[in-house]
Amino acid sequence: MFTLVIIGRPNVGKSTLFNRLARKQMAIIDDTPGVTRDWRETEGWLLDKKIRLIDTAGLEEAFDDSMRGKMRRQTELALQEADAVLFMVDGRSGITPMDKHFANWLRRQDIPTVLAVNKCEHENAAAAGLAEAYALGLGEPLPMSAAHGYGLDDLYHMLSPYF
Ligand code: GDP
Ligand code: MG
């Protein structure tokens, strides 16, 4: 089954998207960094396409270096399962150094990647977030709102060449 791995720093909205596509409340949403360290997976639906989804813990947000290493390893393991990666950033808070760090790392991986700019339900905020995201060098950013379900049609079309 086509496997989509959702990655990104904490609080960008990964679990919100996971829950929406799973169409049931499976992932525990917790704003405390480091709480959800192991990935969760489910079968879900992207429109009419049944997919396997993996929701990773937030990248690199860690209490100490050993935790950081563990989370990085888990992310790398998750990426080995991936037919495509959805790298999510937060259009409302803007691009952070951590986002840039992961974009640089992700560009070196040989996996189809969609750069999703979440929390884009308000147009003004979206415009600023999208311009910053474009500079990450991961192609055309996809505006979305995981909370409102916006952007899923475009996500489908960006992923469909890899189905
Ligand atoms: P994760 O840490 O990346 O898994 O992020 P969560 O899914 O736990 O979401 C973090 C916070 O962002 C929560 O308070 C969500 O309600 C909020 N959130 C998620 N998606 C959206 C969105 O599309 N728009 C807005 N405004 N908030 C969102
Ligand atoms: Mg989460």
ipTM: 0.99
Out of 12, 14, 16, give the residue to mutate to test ligand 1, the one with the largest number of ligand atoms within 8 Å of its CB: 16
Candidate from 36-45, 49-58, 107-116, 117-126 with smallest mean pLDDT: 36-45
For β-strands 3-7 and 84-90, DSSP reports them as: parallel
Q: Which atom of ligand 1 is nearest to the CA of 146?
A: 23
**Band (66; pLDDT cuts 50, 70, 90):** low
**pTM reported for the whole predicted model:** 0.88
Confidence (pLDDT) at 150:
95
Q: Which residues line ligand 1 (CB under 6 A)?
A: 8, 10-16, 29, 58, 118-119, 121, 145-148
12 belongs to an annotated ligand binding site? yes
* Domains assigned to the chain: 3-162 (3.40.50.300)
Q: Both ends of the chain: CA-CA distance in Å?
A: 9
